[in-house]
Amino acid sequence: MRVAPSVNPEHLYIHVPFCLRRCGYCDFAVTATRVAPVDVWLDSIIAELALRQRAAGRSTLDLKTIYIGGGTPSLLGVGAMTRLRDALRRFAAWDDSTVEWTAEANPESFSPQLAEDWAAAGINRISLGAQTFSRVALEWMGRLHGPQGPRRAVKAARAAGIDNISLDLIFALPSRIERDWAGDLDGVLDLKPRHVSLYGLTAEPATPLGRRVESGREIMADEDRYAAEYLLAVDRLGAAGFEHYEVSNFALPGAESRHNRAYWRHRPYIGLGPGAHSYEPPARSWNVRDWGEYSRRLHDGRSPAEGSEELGAGEVTLEKVWLGLRASDGLALDTLTGAQRDRVGEWERSGLAERADGAVRLTRHGWLLLDRLAVELEGAAG
């Protein structure tokens, strides 16, 4: 029997699974299409939310953040976000003056008209997939917007009154790709965003890139270059006034992503759409990834959930340790065992961690080893 949620979520994620094309490194739940089926998508999202609300015995969500991710939300076109807002109001409430409402966009599908439409709908934060300003690197990635795309998109957002802009960059491309990483950092800083997210390129097995690497047709960046590019970004962004508040995220003071920070602080959240995850203590659940299967289930009145698990006290503690290590909040020392504090002492002596205000947080060198250190701390728990 499903256990009733113990806390009402204040954070809502909605997945848009449509892209003009799938990038060679992408392992997200996306479907390539030139025309997004907006009506079916909206009906499916609202049907899922209605099912969730009935199952949880709730009438209205009281939201602090809304995040529209993808895929490519900007591919939905003009009018979709207003329709989504109006539909969500049947199940959720939020204060327009304080809510953080983020939508992701790709530069090639983010026009001045769309920016104005989004602003009118209530979106007040844009996460823009710039990735690089190198034409060669963009073509290798399969990106469509060209080197000037991010500049045009940022200009459109600001003209519409949306100044809370986050830019994404991918680092550690294969060395054969002619890409000036320092130049890309300059390009991002020239655009004066409030937030920057960095993503080290990975070769997921099920992607075209993963298959090329497996067959020896592509060689990924080695650990030394991965570290060098990451640390250069940390230095450059820090010098420009950005706070390194999570392993991959940098913000001007006060511009941290409140939605993502809720994840890292283990807050409850609801995820709608193909492949979306939800955390409603004590349970975590996730949806089927295939768009066709997701929409068919909801059309038939069935749940799109693929699986769920109830987290025990030990699992919750372990997740909090891992999430705490990845964020600047760190971990409270009084939550660690003696053996774990001894391990933290070893990290300090190696320059991988530091203590302050009763907590331990990883340094930038420690964040490069996040996964390994999390496993070490788990093992030290006894």
Tens of pLDDT, residues 205-223: 989 999 999 999 999 999 9
274 in a structural domain: no
Q: Could you report the per-residue pLDDT of 324-345, keeping only the tens digit for each?
A: 999 999 999 998 989 999 999 9
What is the average pLDDT value for the chain, to the nearest integer?
A: 94
Dihedral pair phi/psi, residue 91, rounded to 5°: -125, -10
Token readout for 226 is 């991965």
pLDDT in tens, 13-43: 999 999 988 888 888 889 999 999 999 999 9
Q: Is residue 84 part of a domain?
A: yes
302 in a structural domain:
no
Q: Which of 115-124, 184-193, 313-322 has the lowest mean pLDDT?
A: 313-322
Q: Model confidence over 219-251: pLDDT tens digits?
A: 999 999 999 999 999 999 999 999 999 999 999
Residues of the chain with pLDDT > 70: what percent? 98
* Residue scoring higher pLDDT (132 or 26): 132
On whether residue 51 sits in a domain, the answer given is yes
252 with 372: CB under 8 angstroms? Answer: no
- For 135, residues 6+ apart whose C-beta sits below 8 A from its C-beta are 146, 147
pLDDT at 1: 34
Pairwise CA distance, residues 206 & 220, whole Å: 16
What CATH number is given to the structural domain containing 156?
Answer: 3.20.20.70
Bond preceding residue 330 cis, omega within 30 of 0: no
What is the end-to-end Cα distance of the chain in Å, rounded?
32
Burial class for 56, CB neighbours closer than 10 Å (0-12, 13-18, 19+): middle
CA nearest to 42, candidates 72, 79, 12: 79
pLDDT band with cut points at 50, 70 and 90 for residue 6: low
Chain centroid to Cα 312, Å, comes to: 26
- Surface-to-core class of residue 379, CB atoms within 10 Å of its CB (0-12 exposed, 13-18 middle, 19+ buried): exposed
- The answer to the question of residue 355 being in a domain is yes
Q: Which of 229, 264, 299 delimits the end of a domain?
A: 264
Task: Count CB neighbours of 289 within 10 A.
Answer: 19
Instruction: Name the pairing type of β-strands 249-251 and 195-200.
Output: antiparallel
DSSP E strand boundaries for 33-79:
61-62, 65-70
For residue 364, tell me if it sits in a domain: yes
Task: Tell me the CB-side half-sphere exposure of residue 221, using CA atoms within 13 A.
Answer: 21
Q: What residue type is assigned to position 267 of the chain?
A: R
Return the sign of the alpha-carbon dihedral for residues 131, 132, 137, 142.
positive
The two structure tokens encoding residue 209: 């890139």
Query: Which pTM value belongs to this model?
Result: 0.94
Question: How much is the pLDDT for 3?
Answer: 47
**Residues 318 and 259 placed together within one structural domain of the fold:** no
Domain boundary among 264, 279, 306: 264
- pLDDT, position 183: 96
Domain boundaries, position 203:
11-264
Which stretches of the chain are assigned E, i.e. beta strand? 11-16, 18-19, 31-32, 61-62, 65-70, 92-93, 100-105, 125-131, 165-171, 195-200, 243-246, 249-251, 270-272, 277-280, 283-287, 305-310, 331-332, 353-356, 359-362
Domain count, the chain: 2
- Assess contact for 159 and 110: CB atoms under 8 A: no
